[in-house]
Structures are given as C-alpha cells and as structure tokens.
Amino acid sequence: MAWGATAYAKPIAPSILCTQYADAPVCIGGQPACTFCHTTPPARNAFGAQVEGELLPGTARPLSDADFMTGLPAALAAVEQKDADGDGFVNLDELLAGTYPADGASIPAADGCPQSSDANGGFDVCNYDPRYVYKKLHLDFCGTTVAYDRLKAFEVLEDKEGEIRDALARCLDSEYWKGRDGILYRLAHKKIRPAQSIKSGDDPGDIPLGDYDDDYYLFVYTQIDDHDARELLTAQYFVEVQDGPPTTYSTYERGPFQDIQARGAQVAQLVEVQRRAGMLTTRWNLVFNTMFTPIPRTTAAQAYRAYLGLDIARMEGLDDVPGEPADYDQKGVQAEACRRCHATLDPLTYPFTRYSGFNGGTPFSYVPNRMNNMSSGRNDPLRDTPEAGVIFGERVDDLVQWANVASNSDQFAQATVLDYWKLIIGEAPRPTEQGEFDRLWRRFRNEHEYSVERMLHELVTTEAYGVP
C-alpha cells in the first residue's frame, strides 16, 4: 500500500450525488458538504469508505476526474442497500429522509404528533412552538431565564409573534449579546484568535505587541443596529466603545499619525486609511498572522476560513489559477503534494504581501515596496511577487479590491449566516434544514441588506429554531 500517496477529495462529488438523488433533502437548495462522505478530506467516513470500495475497483489511484465522474454513480447505487453506520437504516433511506448515512445517531424520523402542546409537556414537536421559542430566545440572546409568571402571561397573549419580535429586539441590545465579552465576542474569537500574553493597550500581556480590542469593537459594530456586515472586511474606520450598560460603539477615522498622537504607538493602527480593509488590515491581524512572513499565506488562509468559511487545509474553496503557484519565495509549493492548494492560496495571498508584520518596512503598515525590502538581493524572485491576486476566479489589484469581492460573495453571506445558525441552533444545518438555511443567507444578502439583526429576526422564525 502506498502510504502517503496523494489522495484528494473530489469537489465534483456533491454535484454527482445530487444529480442522482435530486429529491434528497441534502440536495434541495444546495449540495452536501464534504463531510457527507469525508471526515477530514481526503479521509473518508463510513459512508465514503463504502462508496470508495465500490468505485471502479481495480483502477489505479488517484482516479482522474473523468474516471471519478464515470464511476461514482454506479458506486453510489451499489451501496444504496448497505447500512454504513450500522444504525438499522440503509443508506438510500437515510439519503431520502435527510439523515446522515455515516452517523449512527442520525436516523429517519418516526411519525406522530401530540394532541396539543400542553399534553406534551409544553412541547409541540410537530409545529413551530412560540412558547418554546420564547423561553429559548431569552437564554440564547439575553442570557436570562423567563420567569414563570412571565411565561404564563405569554401563553395567553394574542400576538405571540409580536412579543417574540419585541423580546428579540430587547435582547439584541442586551449586554449579554453585545457587551464586552458578550455573545458577539464569542463569535469573534475564532476570527481574531487573541493571545493575551502579547496584547498591548488595556490589560497588557508580558510582551505587548498589538491590541486586539480594536478588532472586537469593529466586529461587534458591524453586527449590530442594522449595520452592514460587509464592513467587517471593508471598513476604513475603527470603532471605540463606551462601556455600559448600555455598551455603545461608535466609529472614528484617524490616520496612523493621528492615531499615534491620540492613543500612543503601542496600540495605534498604522495602515493608512485608504489602504484599510476592515479586519484584514488591523494591527492585530498583522501582528498575529503575518508576523515575519514575506508572503503571508497564513493571513490569507485565516481570512478565507474566518470570513468566507473556506478552509484550504481541508481542500475547501479551491479554484485553480492558471500559472500558479509561481513560488516567488521558493518554498517548493510547486511540488505535486502542494500545488493543488497553493494554486488557489498563493494568488489569494499576493494582495496581503504589501502589509507588513514586524519587518519589511514600518511595522503593521502598508509598504508598497515591501517585497523589495524583504528580498535577499536583486536576483531574489521574491521581488517579483505581484500585489495583484485572484479571489473566486476574479482578478483584484490589491487587498481593498480583494475585500470588496470577498464581502459581496455568496460565500461571505453563507459563512456569516452559518456562524449564527451554529451559535443559536447549536449545530450546522441538517440535510432537512438545508432549504431553510439557503433561503436565509440569500435573504441576508438581499432583503436584509446584510443586517445581522434583521437576519436573526428571521432565523428565530425558522422551523429549525422553533420546532422542539
């Protein structure tokens, strides 16, 4: 067996599966995620392993895309009557019922509805249940428990929907939601990745290098009060906070010099205003992700993962760019094992190369000749690294354009809504909920005009949230 041989997940697989099972809930309004067949691609889960076993047996691996497309339908058909997860339901039944054939805990539903919510302990398991939502909403958004008396009063209200709407509006202004270390901070952690030991500003760490408080403030600001969430990636302002209650956030715009004067060199934002791209160019992002790296792939990959929901390390969002990777920094990324990811990652990264971390020019700022500064001499190909790059197949001149394309993409809307879906509902959409999810992120882009709060008002009306 060739251990370590190259093996890839096939991004074409979901579309083939959905061609074959168009009525499967997982295919309605979208396509299954990689995890339908994989654990961490290219490794397969139990269902994926069964399919692999039936996929052109005897043909040398890795399969070409053409072979894969030819062989997959028959392989899927061959495992329909098998039970990959051993839960007693065959794969086909699970596919059509919208449950996961590789997850023994995910099984098709049994029938039956209660006569009333009251008769069922207060849980209407077949319908949207306002009382259940009212209780849950207060915990999720306000961090409070609805008192017994208030719950009783709610039960006899005529306009329960109106009260739910009002309650949510109140909660979205609560300290639990938007205050310091509130729920919105929790959403931001994976994007900002704080490390207190190198924090500057308030509550500094042992080695103060940059202050992530600015990043949290900007994040929260873009998520509240009908602000446009795209500004997370496009803002050229920063945000200051007035601790509450009520905690309030307001924007300000200062150039680097003004900011040093106003707040001091330890925390000032040093990228000039017109070169700023929201969270992508904050001082903390450059301290923590770019650090000392000439071509800061980590910074770009983190942005792709954090704001667009695409993890290149898991083979997500790959989009081969002709001629790439050029390997300007001579890292050997043209090797077969690296090429596939770096053909996307490297051109995705070029627009980040003019923003310095610790070196290559004034730290944490936009440095047009950074590549020259970081090169080892005239013949160093690093000098040829372009600033222009490619994201989602679209050429962009610089990071500001990159951010515009990113923030207007489907991927940004999906990733934003998915963050909240997982936070509030507790897990990613199930196959049966894919349609609701799809509708929600599309409306977030259009009807909600990128307002997170408007999207959340709709999220709590979904069956995924409201049916116990």
Query: Residue with structure tokens 């639990």?
Result: 176
CB of 397 to other proteins, least distance (A): 26
Cβ distance to other proteins smaller for residue 39 or 404: 39
Task: From 7, 36, 40, 8, select the one nearest 20 (Cα to Cα).
Answer: 36
- Which of positions 406-425 make contact with other proteins (CB under 8 A)? 425
CB of 269 to other proteins, least distance (A): 14
CB of 18 to other proteins, least distance (A): 24
Does 435 sit near other proteins (CB under 8 A)?
A: no
Which residues have CB under 8 Å from 114's CB, separation 6+?
120, 123, 124, 125, 126
Strand-strand pairing, 389-391 and 394-396? antiparallel
Does 340 sit near other proteins (CB under 8 A)?
A: no
Binding region for other proteins (CB under 8 A) out of 231-239, 287-295, 383-391, 404-412: 287-295
CB of 213 to other proteins, least distance (A): 11
Strand-strand pairing, 394-396 and 248-252? unpaired
Question: Which one of residues 294, 309, 317, 347 is an interface residue with other proteins (CB under 8 A)?
Answer: 294
Does 125 sit near other proteins (CB under 8 A)?
A: yes
Are 98 and 439 in contact by the 8 Å Cβ rule? The answer is no
CB of 395 to other proteins, least distance (A): 26
Each residue 221-260 as x (binds other proteins by CB under 8 A) or -, in order, gives: ----------------------------------------
Give dist(CA 296, CA 391) in Å, integer.
15
Question: Which one of residues 58, 86, 322, 323 is an interface residue with other proteins (CB under 8 A)?
Answer: 86
Which residues have CB under 8 Å from 213's CB, separation 6+?
201, 202, 241
CA atoms 323, 11, 335, 309: torsion sign = positive
Give dist(CA 28, CA 163) in Å, integer.
32
Q: What is the CA radius of gyration of the chain?
A: 25
CB of 90 to other proteins, least distance (A): 17
- Which of positions 128-167 make contact with other proteins (CB under 8 A)? 135-136, 139, 143-148, 151
Q: Give the count of residues interacting with other proteins (CB under 8 A).
A: 74
CA separation (Å) from 57 to 60, 73, 81, 301, 431? 8, 14, 19, 36, 29
Are 456 and 142 in contact by the 8 Å Cβ rule? The answer is no
Does 33 sit near other proteins (CB under 8 A)?
A: no
Other CB atoms closer than 10 Å to residue 129's CB: what's the count? 19
Binding region for other proteins (CB under 8 A) out of 22-30, 84-92, 394-402, 448-456: 84-92
Does 116 sit near other proteins (CB under 8 A)?
A: no
Binding region for other proteins (CB under 8 A) out of 112-120, 224-232, 393-401, 439-447: 112-120
Q: What is the DSSP string of 2-46?
A: -TT------TTHHHHHHHHTTTSGGGTTS---GGGTBSSTTSB-H
- Which of positions 363-402 make contact with other proteins (CB under 8 A)? 363, 374, 376
CB of 105 to other proteins, least distance (A): 4
Question: Which one of residues 196, 261, 369, 446 is an interface residue with other proteins (CB under 8 A)?
Answer: 196
Binding region for other proteins (CB under 8 A) out of 71-79, 156-164, 358-366, 447-455: 358-366
CB of 426 to other proteins, least distance (A): 5
